[in-house]
Structure 1
Amino acid sequence: MGRMIALLVLLIPGGLAALGIKLMRDTVFGVLISPFQILWLQGLAGFICFAGGLYLLGGFILYRDRKRNQVSPRFRKKQSGREV
C-alpha cells in the first residue's frame, strides 16, 4: 500500500510537469488550446505547471534521500539548537 501511494505521489507531479511542457511547446508552435484565449497566457500557464510539477517531484526525492542519509553534506538539514 505504501508503494502505491509513493507511486501516485510521483505520477501526479510528473503528469503536471508533462502538461506544462506540452502547453509551452504548443505556444512555441502557435497552437492555441481551447481554455486559453491568448498564446502568452497559455505559455505562462504551461511554465507554472512545469515549474510546480518539477518543484514537487524534486522536493519528494530530496525528502526521501535526506531520510535515508544519501545526500551530500550541502543538502543535509542543519542541527537545530546549540550545544554548550
Structure 2
Amino acid sequence: MKKIIALAILVIPVFLAGLGIKYMRDSVFGIVNDPFTLTVVQFIVGLLLTAAGVWFIGGYILHREQRQKKMQAQFLEQANKTEDENRK
C-alpha cells in the first residue's frame, strides 16, 4: 500500500512537468491555450511547472538515496556539513 501511495505522489509532479513542457512548446509555436491570454505568460507558467516537477522528483530521489545510504561519499560529506552548520 505504501508503494502505491508513493507512486501516486510521484505521478502528479511528473504530470505537471509534462504539462509545463507542453505549455512551453505551444507558446513557442504561437498556440495560446484556454486559461492564458498571452504566450509569454503561458511560457512562464510552463517553465515554473517544469521546474517544480523536476525539483520535486529530484528531491525525492535524493532523500531516498540518503535514507538508504546509497549516495557517493562526496555527496554524503556535503550533506553532513550542511546539517552540522544548520544545527549551530
What TM-score comes out, normalization by structure 1 length? 0.89
Q: Which runs of 5+ in 1 are unaligned?
A: none
RMSD: 1.4
Give runs of ≥4 in structure 1 deviating > 6 Å: none
Deviations 1:14-59 (A, max 9, x none): 0111010000000111100011011000000000000000000100
What TM-score comes out, normalization by structure 2 length? 0.86
What SS does the aligned partner of 1:65 have? helix
Deviations 1:47-75 (A, max 9, x none): 00000000001000110111111111232
Higher helix share goes to which structure? 2
Q: Which runs of 5+ in 2 are unaligned?
A: none
Match of 2:45 in 1: 45
Number of aligned residue pairs: 81
